[in-house]
Amino acid sequence: MDHDGSIADVAIVWAKSEEGVRGFVVPSDSPGFSTQDIHRKLSLRASVTSEILLDDVRLPGSALLPGAISLRGPLACLDEARFGIVWGAAGAARACLEAALEYCGQRIQFDRPIASFQLVQQRLATIALEVNRATLLALHLGRLKDAGRLRAEHVSMGKLANVNAALEVARSARQLLGANGITLEYPVMRHLANLESVVTYEGTADVHALVVGAALTGIQAFR
């Protein structure tokens, strides 16, 4: 599966060769290259998601990405994407917090806004805690990246922590909005549905847990 696969002019395909895993630049007009869009999605609905099909596609030697040998090439790309997700998840969580705060301040029950109720304030405080924790983690990882000290396990921890936190924030905010939370009048349900995809793509939560586990124990648990 690939985002924008059917509208892109070029695809980067990683494949096993005699030299190991190599990257190939594949023009979309190559004979044997085709795509099939995925429809009826309940998440990431604004993006074009496509299956890329390669049927005996032949390429010249110039299609090889120079210097990208072994899994280090695609994994380096994944680390960059995962780093962006660390920030994106924090942003989605903050959007849910802001929507919940505004709603709870305006929604009147028993002649006063529900923001005045203790249980609502407790839930809002917990949401704010997770949002700020996620933002601080993203900021810290950004500073490590700027200093050239960011490692793959740092990024895995950030993606695992922030996406899980954003999911919990979105679910909690959705409950604060009540039945209004499932409508597109508010952004919370959209973020929640998208985060259910984010927790899977660019490495699932389970994969990132194993990366962090290997860093902690020195033992590789992948099989």
Instruction: Please provide the size of the chain in residues.
Output: 223
Is the CB of residue 192 less than 8 Å from the CB of residue 172? no
- Whose tokens are 């070029």? That residue is 10
Is the CB of residue 165 less than 8 Å from the CB of residue 151? no
- C-alpha span between 125 and 205 (Å, rounded): 26
Render 10-70 in DSSP notation, one character per residue.
EEEEEEEETTEEEEEEEETTSTTEEEEE--S-SSSTTS-EEEEEESS----GGGEEEEEES
- C-alpha span between 93 and 81 (Å, rounded): 18
| Residue of 19, 98, 153, 202 marked active site | 202
For residue 118, give the amino acid letter: Q
196 is catalytic: no
- C-alpha span between 162 and 159 (Å, rounded): 5
CA–CA–CA angle 87, 93, 98 (5° rounding): 125
Q: Both tokens of residue 182? A: 């499932």
Residues labelled catalytic: 202
